Amino acid sequence: MIRGLYTGTMGMLAQWTDLDVVANNLANIDTSGYKKDATIFMPFDQILIHRLHDNYVITPKGPIDRRPEVGSLGTGVGISEIATLYSQGPIQKTDNEFDLAISGNGFFAIEGPQNKIFYTRNGTFTLDAQGYLVTQDGYKVMGSKGYIQITQKNFSVGENGLVLGAESADWKSPQEIDLLKIVDFKDKAGLQKVGNSLFEATKYAGEPEILTQPKILQGYLEKSNVNPIEEMVKMIEVQRIYEINQRAVTSFDDTLKTAVTEVGRVG
C-alpha cells in the first residue's frame, strides 16, 4: 500500500508538470516565433511480484526462490525532459517592412545584455533612435558585419537576407547595407529557452552554422506553432489522468486508515 501511495503521488506530480507545459503553450498562441514544448515521460523500473507464504529452499549453493511469479508491477512515472518542438509555424502577412519571417530552417542572431548572443525565430523588429535594427526589447539584430544600421529612408530585405537601402522611393542607386546573420544548429535539442522567444545555445547544440541560402520573407511573421485545439484536448486528458492518480492515492490512504484503526484494534 505504501508503494501504491508513492506511485500515485509520482503520477500526480508528473501530470502537474505536464499541465504547466500545456498551459504555457496555450498562453503563447499569439507569440510570434514561439516553439511549443512537450513533456517526455520515463517509467521507473518494474519489479517482479511473487506469491506470498511460499518459502525459500536452502541448498549448499545458496537459497532458491521457489515462490511462483505473479507478474510485474510498475513503480510509477517521472519526467525525462521538457522537449521543444521546432516545427514551422504558420506564416502570416503583415505588410510591415520591419517584420521578417524565416521560411524553413534557421534563426536570427540577436545580441542581448552583456554582449551575449541569442537566437530567435521572432522577426518582429523595429529601428532604435540610432537607426539600428532591433527587437521589441531593444536587442540588436546581427548581420555578417555586426550591427545592422539603416540610415536610408527606404530599405528592403531579399530572400537571401541581403539588406539594401535607398534614399529615393524609386530605388535609384541602392546601397548594400549588410547580410542578415541566419544560423542553424546540428542539434536543436541543445538550445535552451530564455524567454521572449529567445534561445541560448548550450555546448550540446554545437557551433552555429551560418546558412548561405536562407529564405527570408519581408512583411511577414512566423506565428506560434501551437495548435490550440490539440492543446485543449491535451489539457483535458492531463486533468483526467491527474484525477485518476488522485483517486488511487485517496483509496490507498483510506485503506491504510482502516488497517490502523480497525484491523489492529483489540476486540
pLDDT tens-place string over residues 96-115: 999 999 999 999 999 998 89
What long-range pairs does 185-188 form, CB within 8 A, spacing at least 24? 185/107, 185/209, 188/84, 188/86
Give the residue among 218, 223, 221 at the shortest CA–CA distance from 97: 218
Q: What is the DSSP string of 221-262?
A: EE-----HHHHHHHHHHHHHHHHHHHHHHHHHHHHHHHIIII
- Interhelix angle 228-258/2-27, rounded to 10 degrees, is 160
Q: What is the mean pLDDT of residues 83-96?
A: 96
pLDDT of residue 1: 54
Extents of the domains making up the chain: 2-85+227-263, 91-222
Q: What is the mean pLDDT of residues 113-127?
A: 95
pLDDT higher than 60, residue 10:
yes
pLDDT higher than 80, residue 157:
yes
pLDDT higher than 80, residue 267:
no
Q: Express as a percent the part of the chain with pLDDT over 90.
A: 64
Reading the block at residue 32, the C-alpha cell is: 510570434
Where does the pLDDT of residue 263 fall: very low under 50, low under 70, confident under 90, or very high at 90 and above?
A: low
pLDDT higher than 80, residue 63:
no
- 3-class state of residue 112 by DSSP: coil
Mean pLDDT estimate for the chain: 89
Over residues 176-223, the pLDDT tens digits come to 999 999 999 999 999 999 988 999 999 999 999 999 899 999 999 999
Cα distances (angstroms) measured from residue 148 to each of 48, 108, 111: 64, 12, 11
Q: Is pLDDT larger for residue 169 or for residue 240?
A: 240
pLDDT higher than 80, residue 30:
yes
> Residue 147 carries which side chain, given as an amino acid letter?
Y
Phi, psi (5° rounding) for residue 64?
A: -120, 125
Where does the pLDDT of residue 65 fall: very low under 50, low under 70, confident under 90, or very high at 90 and above?
A: low
- Indicate the length of the chain as a whole number: 267
Over residues 161-177, the pLDDT tens digits come to 999 998 888 778 889 99
